[in-house]
Structure 1
């Protein structure tokens, strides 16, 4: 079936033998149109099922009331909740949301940003992928006067608005908790060190060991494993060492922590008696595993709300002399350690 043609103001004007400008003024409730003519135009527009082209109208006003979001994975609880927080806040302001995912692929991230630019979004909100460190596509968005807000994973040298976590302190608290529970040989499953948040988590881990006078064993620091198979192999190798770790901090995410728990169960290693496990990001499944997994809650919904509020605050401040817009703002939100069964050896 052939789709119906979109009704335009020219179609209404042709039917009523009026000019398109007269129809446009009537539809915009202008006082420069005779009241009887205005009512006739409105009645005809409704009969013809006319729908205004909001995109074209907003473009004429210089804004589309649309925000674009680019995340590495939509199906991860953290990113899904950030998106939820953004949508909740912008909906109240009459804004729309376009969601893209990079799938941790740099080329796709570039494509996502270019697509959002072509859609003339007012703002791009992004958490960058771990694949690559060329951010010229983000600078290009800034050069086109598109507001850019980074969250969680950020290009540190790019001067934009940022909403981040104090991830180093969170890691310090997580490892300190493991030490308080009596764990002495704590392994670290790293995230990709090209991203600042994972370097900061490593720093928090190292600082906790130093503060508690525990030695740093480089053999217990495992570089990023992208796939479940790699994580499984690395954890199995750790637990097969002559002097294996008695705790593992899966600093990349909770999916890594889940992989640790699965390997421990398969090898007959008791959790938390023989092995403590701590993850990061508070995925929903961490509450229902056996035992439940200690993790770090990043307050994802609040991050999304903060991103939205930051955008609207900056938009309102634009042009006001009292507001200094030379120094991009960075808002840091403190995560919370959620202690659960996988680390509670000393109850």
Structure 2
């Protein structure tokens, strides 16, 4: 089947022997066209399967009710919930979303941003990729008069609106919980330290150890273990130490924590008696593992709502010029079976 050319207002005008301007006015509901002519134009437009180019139309009106969202991974519960929160607000405001996935690639992130700029979106909501290098592509967003709001993983150097999670506080609380359960050799699975969220989580881990008089043991920290497979590999490495850990805090993700649980069960280690496990993000599966996994709920949908609301507050002429540029969402430690060694 041959591809058919998209119908334009010129096709409708040609068929009806009218001016294109008359067709355009009729399609846009102008009162300068008679009702009889308007009905004929609308009927013909339907017959020819005409669809209005909303981007072009909005640009002519000086607006574009489309927002771009760039996330590292769409298939993670955290980011899909953020998108759901954004969409809940933008839908009510009559805005559409274009979702892009960087797949943790800095080069793909640049392409995503360029594509959205070329689509003339009114705003870009973005969480940076794992191998983020510099912010030149983000600076160009503002140069095109497009609003930029960063969330979760952000570039601290850029003075933009940001919605963050209290990562340091959450990590501190998680490690302190392990300490109250009697764990002492607590390992950390950390993410790329070029990302703000993983620097903050490591800082919370170190602060909790320091508060309880425990020294940092470099051999108990494993870098970039944030998938199930990498979490499992990191656990094998840690358990092979002469003095293995008695707890592992997978500050990278619940997927890494699941990898820890896989290895513990394969080795016949009792969780939580012999090994405590904490993840991060409150993925749905953490409730149904045996034992269930202690984790940190970041309230990702609320993050999404706050991102969208920040944009509309900034857009509103009645909004206060004192609108906070940084919104922080307080996460919650969800204690489950994988750390309840004392049963409390």
Mean Cα displacement is larger for which, 56-65 or 222-231?
222-231
Aligned residue number for residue 257 of structure 1:
257
Shift of 1:286: 1.0
Shift of 1:234: 2.6
- The answer on whether the counterparts of 1:279 and 1:293 sit within 8 Å (CA) in structure 2 is yes
Aligned residue number for residue 128 of structure 1:
128
Q: Distance in 2 between matches of 1:262 and 1:130?
A: 25
Unaligned runs of 5+ in 2: none
Q: Distance in 2 between matches of 1:227 and 1:310?
A: 32
Which structure 2 residues correspond to residues 184-263 of structure 1 after superposition, within 5 A? Answer: 184-225=184-225, 228-263=228-263
Q: Distance in 1 between matches of 2:130 and 2:242?
A: 33
**1:161-181 alpha-carbon deviations (Å, 9 max, x no partner):** 111001100001111111111
Specify which of 330, 333, 338 is matched with residue 334 of structure 2. 338
- The answer on whether the counterparts of 1:63 and 1:121 sit within 8 Å (CA) in structure 2 is no
**1:273-305 alpha-carbon deviations (Å, 9 max, x no partner):** 011100101111111111111000100111111
Compared CA separation, residues 228 and 280, structure 1 to 2 (3 A): closer
**Secondary structure of 1:162 counterpart:** strand
**Secondary structure of 2:153 counterpart:** coil
Aligned residue number for residue 78 of structure 1:
78
State how many pairs are aligned: 343
Shift of 1:227: 5.9
- The answer on whether the counterparts of 2:229 and 2:256 sit within 8 Å (CA) in structure 1 is no
Aligned residue number for residue 296 of structure 1:
296
Q: Distance in 1 between matches of 2:32 and 2:283?
A: 58
**Secondary structure of 1:342 counterpart:** coil
Mean Cα displacement is larger for which, 4-13 or 63-72?
4-13
Q: Distance in 1 between matches of 2:9 and 2:55?
A: 15
Aligned residue number for residue 117 of structure 2:
117
Shift of 1:246: 0.9
Q: Distance in 2 between matches of 1:9 and 1:295?
A: 56
- The answer on whether the counterparts of 2:189 and 2:226 sit within 8 Å (CA) in structure 1 is no
Aligned residue number for residue 93 of structure 1:
93
Compared CA separation, residues 30 and 281, structure 1 to 2 (3 A): same
Q: Distance in 1 between matches of 2:81 and 2:35?
A: 49
TM-score (norm 2): 0.94
TM-score (norm 1): 0.93
Shift of 1:138: 0.7
**Secondary structure of 1:343 counterpart:** coil
Q: Distance in 2 between matches of 1:140 and 1:242?
A: 52
